[in-house]
Amino acid sequence: MSALICGSMAYDTIMVFHDRFKNHILPDKVHILNVSFLVPVMRREFGGCAGNIAYNLKLLGEDPLIMATVGHDFEPYMQWLCQNGLSREFIRILDNNYTGQAYITTDEDDNQITAFHPGAMNSSHLNSVPVGREDIGIGIVSPDGKEGMLLHAKQFSELDIPFIFDPGQGIPMFTGEELIQFLDQATWVTINDYESELLQQKTGLTLKQIAERVEALIVTLGAQGSKVYTHGQCIDIPTAKPKALLDPTGCGDAYRAGVLYGLMNELDWDITGRIASLMGAIKIEHSGTQNHAFDLETFKERYRANFGSSF
């Protein structure tokens, strides 16, 4: 069984400002803001939710399928996918667009100023969930172009393919009615604690009411672990211990790959949540979203060391 990963593909250009923004931004002058930050450290990473989730799921031994729209500048990313054995079958190149681009400047207090150009991502609705592909047994709708997210959720539902709704930072794009429609189509929902507050506010539903509409609602809580609301109960998932706290970017995507792995292998939520937690811990030990690597046996050893059991 394969997972169809619907979402963004992007280049992340990450710059480090060796000072604090607050020392250069005058609060009483923000209406005429004109600042320049010297950033001697810069790196370019492969990112985007679909790319990150698929990369992590591949590390766990699965063969995910990415469905995304990208631009004419995608060739370096394409080579990276080939190098890591990831399928390009459902990646559509739009010659008159750039691939999504995130420009992130981080200061010494870990504050960030980000500019994001969606580029080809805004045309994600040009892709469709394939019909008649018996190998696709599960899907995920992660942050992408608005029309694409609405379309792909509808198509998964019509094809009776169970899928995760992972709205992420895309929640503000949708009305309360549209978000409720997603909930009624989806099989599972994954959000972080901030997104849970926003989702409740926009839909007018409580967490309990949201959980009642799906088979499971997963809420990640950062260093406090995560919670799985399913069939009227709440399962507390502990954190796995990272070896270092280097870069939290992409931890949520790594966690979601762990959730997909558990669902694809019919594991219970206690195990699935712990696998997802360990995926996030491994990711935070590395800079960038796709620079960590492991084999499955090594992963299982770390699982046993953290949780005292096997899967």
The predicted structure's pLDDT at residue 30: 84
CATH 3.50.50.60 describes domain 2-8+49-96+120-307: no
The helix/strand/coil state of 291 is coil
Query: Has residue 97 got a pLDDT over 90?
Result: yes
The predicted structure's pLDDT at residue 138: 98
Strands 188-192 and 163-165: parallel
pTM of the model: 0.94
pLDDT (average), residues 36-42: 93
Of residues 11, 149, 172, 146, the one with CA closest to residue 67: 149
Between CA 142 and CA 88 the distance in angstroms is 18
Between CA 156 and CA 202 the distance in angstroms is 23
Model confidence pLDDT, tens digit, residues 205-225: 999 999 999 999 999 999 999
Segments making up each domain of the chain, as ranges = 2-8+49-96+120-307
Model confidence pLDDT, tens digit, residues 155-209: 999 999 999 999 999 999 999 999 999 999 999 999 999 999 999 999 999 999 9
Structure token digits, residue 60: 């766990």
